[in-house]
Structure 1
């Protein structure tokens, strides 16, 4: 199976496109030791969001590493942040500009297209099908795209990122009421810093599937990994830190679920 999926009963689907760590053997044979480290993974998100089952939310998480192909990038590989540096559909280097492929082994266009069909498409087929199912059942649905990233990545931004970064494609991917309800819960606490449509405005999943005019509302949360884990290898989960942010996460998810059912 190319992903892990669990169907829920409420109009909320949580997507975790960058949690995958598997790399097929034939692809791994072309890659450098930096790829084996998988440092740009959204580590431990399934554990951090383990309360979702009790809420009745649907969950979808990737099996394959973003180094194989990035399911949160457009299939035509357009830059989601024109004029800014970003990694592409089939990344060739890490967030720290370490090459992912051995010399002469960077995938050509035919290989990228093969990976689109084999690894990218199954995730999106399931994502689209579940949104359609929930929309038919409930008349409206929220898609929450869950991400995490190292708190300091000089390639993309200066200094430390805010702890909680919300993206709604500058308001285009969801109704204002949803983002207001969710962000209000985030702002009600003082431990974690918050940004809305700052450096992160939502990736392909948020922008493509968010159709508020059709009652599909998408919002992305990019969290600093320092809020719940060790950012250096071996990237251990920190229950002491996670306990602090998990309560805020749960309140935000409950706010999203309450809003869409109102």
Structure 2
């Protein structure tokens, strides 16, 4: 495989994960996609650009290079469903609107997918584990922010328009409740945006698996409505006029995460 991820090691106890930002396809996936999928519509578009302040902030950052159409890094390796109802799996078979992702007879083979698991999924999760362990060893705790985005209107997945900021803590299991309440307060202080905690998106595999408050690892997923920073239709253009105020809220959220950690652990 080519480069499967990018990683930057920061100086603070915060790791930002971007598992669905990748655009690279394998030859088998690219050859098999239906025409409607070739623009990669279900990508978490522009997330590295939206969080371009993270390195200066001092956070560690890991971002996927391969598209979720190859393998979904936010699903468990046993492909156990995370949500009740319509969802996508470790090897997505449908687009978010429910239509088939691959042409008939052109789904990647089991051997190809086994390679994706070993060469893409495992390195990403190995990086997450290694960095979280490093942070916890250095600071006594680690903070994980799983950064996502999605179209605000997808009737196949959820009713109505999605709130702008969708915070997920696996119903309180992945981080200290006081941290979740602090994040809700930050969102409430941004009245131009709507928000919810543990609504349709409660946190995927990364939040659920790595969040371990009893062992001082606190994980939060943010599923951000793409209407807050970009055009939701092809060519999915980044909108600086929309993104700038959204970034300000993101910066306040991450600053609040760090302030909470310092207050809770003393460093």
**Shared topology, TM-score over 0.5?**
yes
SS in 1 for 2:11: coil
Q: CA deviation at 1:113?
A: 2.4
1:185-236 CA distances to partner (integer Å, 9 max, x unpaired)?
1111210001000101000000000000000000000010000000000000
SS in 2 for 1:37: coil
Task: Confirm or deny: 8 A CA contact 1:3 1:60 kept in the other structure.
Answer: yes
Aligned-partner Cα distance in 1 for 2:165–2:32: 35
Q: Which residue of 1 aligns with 2:23?
A: 21
Q: Which residue of 1 aligns with 2:154?
A: 153
Runs of 4+ residues over 3 Å off in structure 1: 107-111
Task: Confirm or deny: 8 A CA contact 2:31 2:106 kept in the other structure.
Answer: no
Aligned-partner Cα distance in 2 for 1:208–1:190: 32
Write out aligned runs for 1:82-93 (5 A).
82=84, 84-93=85-94
Q: 107-116 vs 152-161, which deviates more?
A: 107-116
Write out aligned runs for 1:137-152 (5 A).
137-152=138-153
Q: CA deviation at 1:108?
A: 4.5
Where structure 2 has 5 or more consecutive residues not aligned to the other structure, the ranges are: none
Task: Confirm or deny: 8 A CA contact 1:6 1:60 kept in the other structure.
Answer: yes
Q: Which residue of 2 aligns with 1:245?
A: 246
Q: CA deviation at 1:36?
A: 1.6
Aligned residues: 261
Q: Which residue of 2 aligns with 1:196?
A: 197
Q: CA deviation at 1:141?
A: 0.9
Aligned-partner Cα distance in 2 for 1:98–1:132: 40
Q: Of 48, 53, 56, which residue of structure 2 is paired with 1:54? A: 56
Q: CA deviation at 1:135?
A: 0.7
SS in 1 for 2:7: strand
Q: Which residue of 1 aligns with 2:230?
A: 229
Write out aligned runs for 1:94-173 (5 A).
94-173=95-174
Aligned-partner Cα distance in 2 for 1:107–1:23: 12
Aligned-partner Cα distance in 1 for 2:26–2:13: 34
Aligned-partner Cα distance in 2 for 1:41–1:78: 21
Q: 222-231 vs 178-187, which deviates more?
A: 178-187
Task: Confirm or deny: 8 A CA contact 1:183 1:252 kept in the other structure.
Answer: no
Q: Which residue of 1 aligns with 2:77?
A: 75
Task: Confirm or deny: 8 A CA contact 2:29 2:107 kept in the other structure.
Answer: no
Task: Confirm or deny: 8 A CA contact 2:29 2:108 kept in the other structure.
Answer: no
SS in 2 for 1:130: helix
Task: Confirm or deny: 8 A CA contact 1:11 1:261 kept in the other structure.
Answer: no
Task: Confirm or deny: 8 A CA contact 1:34 1:98 kept in the other structure.
Answer: no
Task: Confirm or deny: 8 A CA contact 1:69 1:120 kept in the other structure.
Answer: yes
Aligned-partner Cα distance in 2 for 1:38–1:130: 29
Two-structure CA RMSD over aligned residues (Å) = 1.1
Report the TM-score when normalising by structure 1: 0.97
Task: Confirm or deny: 8 A CA contact 2:29 2:69 kept in the other structure.
Answer: no
Q: 25-34 vs 37-46, which deviates more?
A: 25-34
Aligned-partner Cα distance in 1 for 2:197–2:230: 23
